[in-house]
Amino acid sequence: MPLPATMKWSSTRTSIKAKEARRVCVSASSARLGSTFPDGWLCAFCAPFFYERIKRRYFAYLKEAWRHNEPTVDAVAKALDRFEVDTKHRDFKFFRFEQAIAFKRHLNEQNSVRTGERRC
């Protein structure tokens, strides 16, 4: 007698009927997550880790290839973090130069930390 239809995913076997029963729940949550991220729900979970890895590699590149010292690399990391906060952590895939111009204007409107005076 043949075995019932099953689907193998990772190391767990799940019957197709059980998969269909959960499909509605998964579709609803995927649609909810996908509506807030341009590339869908997968982007919500993979992209932040992917970009963090690229940034770490870039910082290592600055340190090793360009021989920048640790405070310089830290300053670059801090500047990049400030830019990400200003753009609300939007995906770099959709970067536009207008974002950099707006960020520069935003920085010019801030008061200097050392002197307390406006930078313009």
Q: How far apart are CA 65 and CA 27, in angstroms?
A: 46
pLDDT, position 77 = 95
What would the two tokens of residue 83 be?
């830019």
Q: Is the dihedral of CA 92, 95, 97, 101 positive or negative?
A: negative
- φ, ψ of residue 4 to 5 degrees: the values are -65, 155
Predicted TM-score (pTM) of the model is: 0.56
Interval 23-73: pLDDT, tens: 545 555 554 545 554 555 455 455 667 788 899 999 999 999 999 999 999
Q: How far apart are CA 100 and CA 83, in angstroms?
A: 8
Cβ contact 47:38 at 8 Å: no
* pLDDT grade for 115, boundaries at 50, 70 and 90: confident
